[in-house]
Amino acid sequence: MSRLKQLKTPVFAVEGVQHLAKSNYLLSVDGLETGNRILSLDELKAAIPPKTVKMRLTSVSGWSVRTDWDGILWQDFLKYIRPDPLSRYVIFGSASEYTTCALLTD
């Protein structure tokens, strides 16, 4: 059971919830960094140790929840991929073709 489901938070998915086998999760890293590559979930877990942090997740729809979250920290991920110092932004894309952009800071 997912942590959000345990906390009874609502799940909104405009294009439907994506159901992918964990073996099909792939992360493509390209752009201004030190080598384009595609990483599997197992490769990421082996390369970057997951950590637990207590943080608040706030939704644009108005709810928020504070709890323990497990995963790879952004700063650890950046150390692993070593982005080019000229890189300013990162674009995230999902299996359903949703994209968003964020300022690249370490």
pLDDT, tens digit, 9 for 90 and up, residues 1-59: 466 677 776 666 656 666 778 888 888 888 765 668 899 989 998 999 999 999 888 87
- Number of domains observed in the structure of the chain: 1
| pTM, full prediction | 0.70
Domain residues for 59? 3-103
Using H for helix, E for strand and C for coil, what is the string for the chain? CCHHHHCCCCCCCCCCCCCCCHHHCEEEECCCECCCEEEEHHHHHHHCCCEEEEEEEECCCCCEEEEEEEECCHHHHHHHHCECCCCCEEEEECCCCCEEEEECCC
